[in-house]
C-alpha cells in the first residue's frame, strides 16, 4: 500500500536529539559568572529550578548544525533518509539568519531538496505547534512524511549579568519523523496564544538598518510565567484528554516543556498525574525552549520508558504568551 492511501492519520516513527559540546555544571557556571560579578551557587540553582547542568554551544556553532544532528538521529531511528522527507518544520527562536529560514539551511544539509520547509516561531511552544501543523498537513494529503525539529541556541540571547535568567537556559535540538498512517498517532491537540501577556517573557530586540534596536536579551517575569504556565497547561491537558475520550488515569506519560522542576511538578499535580508518570530532563538539559520537549521525548523513547500502545502527552508553553498540547498513541 502506498503512503498516498494512508493519509488519514500521522504517527511518529523516529526520534532524535543533539547537544553541543560538554555539559556545564552549576559549579562551573557559578565560577564563570563570578568573573562577571554575578553571585550564584549550585545549591541556589537546584533549590529554585532543579537544574544541575546545561549544554552551551561553542562560538561558531549554529542552530542548523544542531538541528541537522537531531534530524539525522531521528531519520536513522525511523529507517528513513533525507530524500524520503517532503516537509521540514523547524521550531526556533534563535535562527541563524533573518532569512533564509533555518529549515531551508537544514534541508540543504539533509539532501531533502524540493520538500516544503519553513520555521515556526512560538518560542518554547514551538515544537508542539510544529508537530500539530505537520499532522494537519499529512492528514490533508499535502504531505506524506515530515521532520519536525526544535533547535535553539538560547545562550546567544541571554544577559549573563541577570542571575534570574542566565542560569535557566541551555542549547540543544530534538526531532521527530512523522509519517502518514492508517492508524491514529496524534489523537487530539490544542494550540493557543494570548498576546496580552507578551511582556512577561520576551526578547524585544530587532535589527533595523543594520543595527540592533531595543533590548537584545531575554527578559522574564518569573512569578507571572509560573502562574500562567501551570494554569494554561493544566487546563489544556484536561481538554485534550477529553477530546480524545480518555481519562487522566489512561495517560501513561506527561512530557511538559522543561522550564523548571517546580513548574513541572505543579502541572502534574494540577492534571492529576503522578510524578512518576512525568518525564523530566530539565535537571540535565536546563530550559532549551523549543528543543526541550523533543529532547525529553527522545530520552524517554531511547531508555525504553515509552512503549508501543502507550498514551503520551506533549506540552509546550512560552513567550507570546503561547501554549499547546498534543496527545499521542505511541
Question: DSSP for 83-99?
Answer: GG--EEEEE-SS-SSSS
> Would you identify the CATH topology of the domain 3-181?
Peroxisomal Thiolase; Chain A, domain 1 (3.40.47)
Q: Choosing from 202, 257, 260, 285, which is the catalytic residue?
A: 257
Q: Is the pLDDT of residue 176 over 60?
A: yes
pLDDT at 212: 87
* Interatomic CA distance for residues 177 and 308, integer angstroms: 16
Question: Active site includes 143?
Answer: no
Q: Is the pLDDT of residue 150 over 70?
A: yes
Per-residue pLDDT tens digits for 206-229? 989 888 899 999 999 999 999 999
pLDDT at 8: 81
Per-residue pLDDT tens digits for 81-90? 999 999 999 9
Question: Active site includes 231?
Answer: no
Domain ranges of the chain: 3-181, 186-329
Q: Which of 19, 49, 12 is nearest to 292 (CA)?
A: 19
Is-contact 70 16, C-beta < 8 A? yes
Q: Choosing from 26, 143, 260, 287, which is the catalytic residue?
A: 287
* Interatomic CA distance for residues 109 and 13, integer angstroms: 21
pLDDT at 1: 46
The 8-class DSSP code of residue 9 comes to E
**Domain pair 3-181 / 186-329, same fold:** yes
Is-contact 287 261, C-beta < 8 A? no
* Interatomic CA distance for residues 218 and 216, integer angstroms: 7
pLDDT at 38: 95
* Interatomic CA distance for residues 273 and 269, integer angstroms: 6
Per-residue pLDDT tens digits for 268-277? 999 999 999 9
Task: Over range 41-45, report the average pLDDT.
Answer: 98
Residue position matching grid coordinates 496564544 = 193
Complete DSSP assignment for 222-279: HHHHHHHHHHHHHHHHHHHHHHHT--GGG--EEE---S-HHHHHHHHHHHT--GGGB-
Which residues touch 253 (CB under 8 Å, ≥6 apart)?
A: 277, 278, 279, 300, 305, 306, 310, 311, 312, 313
* Residue 270 φ then ψ, to 5°: -65, -40
Complete DSSP assignment for 58-86: PTT--HHHHHHHHHHHHHHHHT--GGG--
Superfamily of domain 186-329: Thiolase/Chalcone synthase (3.40.47.10)
Query: Residue 3: pLDDT band by 50, 70, 90 thresholds?
Result: low
Q: Choosing from 124, 166, 202, 260, which is the catalytic residue?
A: 124
Amino acid at each position: 500500500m502506498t503512503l498516498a492511501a494512508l493519509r488519514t492519520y500521522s504517527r511518529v516513527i523516529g526520534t532524535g536529539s543533539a547537544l553541543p559540546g560538554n555539559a556545564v555544571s552549576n559549579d562551573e557556571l557559578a565560577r564563570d559568572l563570578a568573573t562577571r560579578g554575578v553571585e550564584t551557587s549550585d545549591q541556589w540553582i537546584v533549590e529554585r529550578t532543579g537544574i544541575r547542568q546545561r549544554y552551551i554551544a561553542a562560538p561558531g556553532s549554529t542552530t542548523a548544525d544542531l538541528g541537522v544532528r537531531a534530524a539525522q538521529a531521528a531519520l536513522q531511528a525511523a529507517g528513513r533518509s533525507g530524500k524520503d522527507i517532503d516537509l521540514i518544520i523547524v521550531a526556533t527562536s534563535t535562527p541563524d539568519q533573518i532569512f533564509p529560514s533555518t529549515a531551508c539551511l537544514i534541508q540543504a544539509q539533509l539532501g531533502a531538496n524540493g520538500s516544503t520547509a519553513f520555521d515556526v516561531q512560538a518560542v518554547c511552544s514551538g515544537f508542539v505547534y510544529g508537530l500539530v501543523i505537520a499532522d494537519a498537513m499529512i492528514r490533508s494529503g499535502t504531505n506524506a512524511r515530515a521532520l519536525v525539529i526544535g533547535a535553539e541556541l538560547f545562550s546567544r540571547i541571554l544577559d549573563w549579568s541577570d542571575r534570574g535568567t542566565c542560569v535557566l537556559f541551555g542549547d540543544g535540538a530534538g526531532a521527530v519523523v512523522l509519517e502518514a498512517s492508517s492508524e491514529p498517532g496524534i489523537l487530539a491537540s490544542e494550540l493557543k496564544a494570548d498576546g496580552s501577556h507578551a511582556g512577561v517573557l520576551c526578547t524585544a530586540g530587532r535589527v533595523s538598518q543594520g543595527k540592533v534596536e531595543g533590548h537584545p536579551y531575554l527578559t522574564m517575569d518569573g512569578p507571572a510565567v509560573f502562574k500562567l504556565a501551570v494554569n494554561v497547561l493544566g487546563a489544556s491537558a484536561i481538554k485534550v484528554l477529553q477530546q480524545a475520550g480518555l481519562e487522566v488515569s489512561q495517560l501513561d506519560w506527561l512530557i511538559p516543556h522543561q522550564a523548571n522542576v517546580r513548574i513541572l511538578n505543579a502541572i502534574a499535580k494540577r492534571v492529576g498525574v503522578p510524578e512518576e508518570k512525568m518525564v523530566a530532563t530539565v535537571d540535565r538539559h536546563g530550559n532549551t525552549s523549543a528543543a526541550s520537549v523533543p529532547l525529553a521525548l527522545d530520552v524517554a523513547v531511547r531508555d525504553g520508558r515509552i512503549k508501543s500502545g502507550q498514551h503520551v502527552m506533549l506540552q509546550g508553553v512560552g513567550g507570546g504568551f503561547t501554549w499547546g498540547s498534543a496527545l499521542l498513541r505511541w
